[in-house]
């Protein structure tokens, strides 16, 4: 008997989102809130528990797969574990259109969006490490990139609230593009570079920061420079064209040629030099390819 062919979908509500699971005939699944006491009944109407905590958002669910010997428990668990949430990172140079892309894709669907935590980088107890780095990269490069790595790790590991999560950039580009650029340009000493690299390598090996798809908004440095002038962000006024060219080159090495570092996920390259109106059309044309895993192609 093909057990996988017998799976059917059911779902329940935990108080935060709808959780889905697959059920096999002859195998019972019991769901219990981890903040509850046995033998009571939840408002959801399932044999749940009386909640210990008052914060409904902290409720979690536990699935117990029960059954006789050789009833298919292992097959069920393997199937369930494969149905994970999707995380998509939108990558690109400064002013490549990442925010526009994220806002457009999330406007008509139930998608969680995590923007770069730039507000944190601009205000650490009254200090602005982002602005300091742009003005004196040799002095403040390590300071900023240490905090960037920490805050991006926080983004990757935060509980996912929707089946699909879109992230602006990632901890991978922080290391492979921005830290690498500081080192190659001679603005980061080798000892700083080695420390950040070893920390990043440890994170990748010991913490789950998997990415399912990378969307690369490929934009020429000249276009990015023109867009920077138009949006007039204070920290970006001192960014020269040469800096954007260096960032572009590293993105190309990493995501297009695949010659720089390992690529964490399949890559979808979108040419993003167009006007705002045209880019919205391009995003719409690529919506299905971005959000449907079966359309993804592996490799840069």
User: Per residue, what are the HEC states of the chain?
Assistant: CCHHHHCEEEEEECCCCEEEEEECCCCEEEEEECCEECCCCCCCCCCCCEECCCCHHHCCEEEEEECCCCCCHHHHHHHHHHCCCEEEEEEECCCCCHHHHHHHHHCCCCEEEECCCHHHHHCECCECHHHHHHHCHHHHHHHHHHHHHHHHHHHHHCCCCCCEEEEECCHHHHHHHHHHHHHHCCCCCHHHHHHHHHHHHHHHHHCCCCCCEEEEEECCHHHHHHHHHHHCCHHHHHCCHHHHHHHHHHHHHHHHHCCCCCCCCCEEEEECCCCHHHHHHHHHHHHHHHHCHHHCCCCC
d(CA 29, CA 152): 36
Q: What are the Cα distances from residue 257, in Å, to 222, 223, 300?
A: 21, 21, 7
Q: What are the Cα distances from residue 249, in Å, to 92, 109, 127, 204, 259?
A: 11, 33, 30, 24, 11
Beta strands in 160-283 (DSSP E): 164-168, 213-218, 267-271
Just give the CATH number of 86-295: 3.40.50.300
From 168, 180, 234, 242, the catalytic residue: 168
Q: Is 242 a catalytic residue?
A: no
What do you get for the CA distance between the two ends of the chain, in Å? 40
Torsion of CA 63, 68, 72, 75, to 10 degrees: 50
pLDDT of 102-141, one tens digit each?
Answer: 999 988 778 999 999 999 999 999 999 999 999 999 999 9
* Mean pLDDT of the residues in the chain: 79
pLDDT of 46-57, one tens digit each?
Answer: 443 333 343 444
d(CA 281, CA 6): 41
pLDDT surpasses 60 at 224: yes
d(CA 63, CA 24): 13
pLDDT of 234-252, one tens digit each?
Answer: 778 889 999 999 999 999 9
pLDDT score at 236 = 82
pLDDT score at 60 = 42
Percentage, residues of the chain above pLDDT 70: 72
Stated pTM of the model: 0.71
Domains of the chain, residue spans? 3-82, 86-295
More confident residue, 58 or 231: 231
Q: Using alpha carbons, select from 84, 86, 33 the residue that is nearest to residue 60.
A: 33
pLDDT of 30-47, one tens digit each?
Answer: 444 334 444 444 444 444
Q: How confident is the model at residue 292 (pLDDT cuts 50, 70, 90)?
A: confident
d(CA 259, CA 267): 14
Over residues 153-167, mean pLDDT: 94
Taking only Cα atoms into account, the Rg of the chain, rounded to an integer number of angstroms, comes to: 23
């Amino acid at each position: 008997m093909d057990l996988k062919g017998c799976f059917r979908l059911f779902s329940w509500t935990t108080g935060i989102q709808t959780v889905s699971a697959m059920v096999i005939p002859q195998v019972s699944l019991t769901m219990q809130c981890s903040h509850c006491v046995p033998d009571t009944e939840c408002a959801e109407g399932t044999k749940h528990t009386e909640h210990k905590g008052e914060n409904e958002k902290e409720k979690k669910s536990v699935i117990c797969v029960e059954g006789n010997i050789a009833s298919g428990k292992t097959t069920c668990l393997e199937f369930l574990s494969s149905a994970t949430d999707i995380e998509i990172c939108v990558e690109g140079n400064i002013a490549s259109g990442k925010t526009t892309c994220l806002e457009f894709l999330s406007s008509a669907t139930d998608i969680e969006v995590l923007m770069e935590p730039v507000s944190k980088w601009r205000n650490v107890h009254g200090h602005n490490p982002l602005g300091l780095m742009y003005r004196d990269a040799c002095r403040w490069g390590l300071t900023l990139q240490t905090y960037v790595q920490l805050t991006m790790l926080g983004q990757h590991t935060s509980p996912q609230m929707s089946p699909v999560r879109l992230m602006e950039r990632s901890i991978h580009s922080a290391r492979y593009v921005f830290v690498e650029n500081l080192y190659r340009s001679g603005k980061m000493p080798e000892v700083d570079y080695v420390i950040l690299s070893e920390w990043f390598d440890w994170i990748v090996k010991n913490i789950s920061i998997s990415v399912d798809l990378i969307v690369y908004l490929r934009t020429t440095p000249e276009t990015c420079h023109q867009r920077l002038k138009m949006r007039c962000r204070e920290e970006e006024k001192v960014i020269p064209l040469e800096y954007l060219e260096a960032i572009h080159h590293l993105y190309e090495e990493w995501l297009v040629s695949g010659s720089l570092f390992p690529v964490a996920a399949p890559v979808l390259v979108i040419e993003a030099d167009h006007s705002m109106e045209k880019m919205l059309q391009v995003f719409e044309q690529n919506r299905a390819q971005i959000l449907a895993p079966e359309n993804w192609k592996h490799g840069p």
